Amino acid sequence: MRYSSITDRLADLGSEKWALHIRARQMQASGTDIIQLTIGEPDVPPDASLLAEAQRAMNAGRYRYSNGRGEPSVVKALTARYAKRRPDVTAENVLCFPGTQTALFAVMLGLVEAGDGVLVGDPLYATYDGVIQSTGAHRVTVPLKPQHGFHMQAADLERAVTPACRVLLLNTPHNPTGAVLTAEEIAAIGEVCRRHDLWIVCDEVYEELILSGTFASPFDNPDLAERTIVVSSISKSHAAPGFRSGWAVGTVEFASRLLPVSETMLFGVQPFIADMTAYALTHETGTAAAMRTSYKARADRIMQGLQNVPGIVPLPPEAGMFILVDVAGTGLTGDAFAWRLLEEEHVAVMPGASFGKEATSFIRVSLTVPDMAIDEACRRITRLAIRLLSPRERRA
């Protein structure tokens, strides 16, 4: 039987990058005690008020068909949120989706097609390749260098641009590195995009989880307003990844052109989840603030726990729920180190290579486990590093 070309383009972009995570779950299911530090899933529940609002909405009959743009409650809340950043925003700028991933997929489908190039920093979030290649477009890599704190440099972007490029997929705050671009860096990047007439699609899902520094966005820069589209969700900010509630905000023309695409894919989100999202966006629950405090403290614990370990260099994150650790000094790649850490020490982390070439010497460690598990993971990482640098291991 015949299949469409999208199945070939995405054939190697599914769960393969999560092979170590899947193996760790299998080991855990078989009875092995694994410290899981792989995925970015908040370790706190959504605030009880959000769950109560979802239940109230369901009890009120808010489970019927919606519309393509989004339920009035959440569109109104999003309009108010983004109008604080840019006063010209109205409901006509907003589209709602089931999570950031769906928003990215739809946005890319509306902006690029076969033969087009999408610029994206390396390291990159693991699903970006899929949303790019699903359209027939191809990724054009912009290196994010450790010596620059993994901040995208305008000069590197300029060198990477090709005549085929149509979009810059920007991620700030960044996953997996935790880098937070400054307003000055964004302005310089935006100037490159203006010269080459590029869209800027900015994934801002970690906006409320900045540990140090100040959030900045191309969406807030008047010179970049006509070419910037923001995608985000409540998954990280409100510890609600399973509710799948996200959005895209851009120009009125963009939203109008993309609306039929959204309607063809989804024709609306769940009204009771939309009402819960509207509540989340208009009430202070304290969830994000608590997670910021917790993740900053856990990152500091890892920095302290690994600071004098031979062959190991942890990098302090500026945002998010992960910390990168450079393991090149042990003589192994991040991938090889991560697999040995799992098999020998029963600690599951993500190999940096899952996120791109520039992270091959790193492992990504999640901060979403209790402090005791963080401390024990550091002890086990230390044991492996010492073994790797022992004379016997070196001879082997």
Q: Interhelix angle for 371-388 vs 287-306, to 10°?
A: 30
117-122, strands of its sheet edge to edge: 94-97, 246-249, 228-233, 199-203, 165-171, 117-122, 138-143
CA–chain centroid gap for 71, Å, is: 25
Determine whether 373 is exposed, middle or buried from the number of CB atoms within 10 Å of its CB (0-12, 13-18, 19+). middle
R_g (Cα) of the chain, nearest Å: 21
Domain residue extents for the chain: 5-45+287-391, 48-282
Phi-psi region of 18 (alpha: psi -120 to 50; beta: other; left: phi over 0): alpha
Q: Which residue has the tokens 């006063």?
A: 87
pLDDT tens per residue across all 396 residues of the chain: 999 998 888 887 766 778 999 999 999 999 999 999 998 889 999 999 999 999 999 999 999 999 989 999 999 999 999 999 999 999 999 999 999 999 999 999 999 999 999 999 999 998 999 999 999 999 999 999 999 999 999 999 999 999 999 999 999 999 999 999 999 999 999 999 999 999 999 999 999 999 998 999 999 999 999 999 999 999 999 999 999 999 999 999 999 999 999 999 988 899 999 999 999 999 999 999 999 999 999 999 999 999 999 999 999 999 999 999 999 999 999 999 999 999 999 999 999 999 999 999 999 999 999 999 999 999 999 999 999 998 755 555
User: CA–CA separation, 372 vs 209, rounded Å?
Assistant: 22
Using the 8-state DSSP alphabet, how is residue 19 labeled?
Answer: H
Query: If one looks up domain 48-282 in CATH, what number appears?
Result: 3.40.640.10
Fold designation for 5-45+287-391: Aspartate Aminotransferase, domain 1 (3.90.1150)
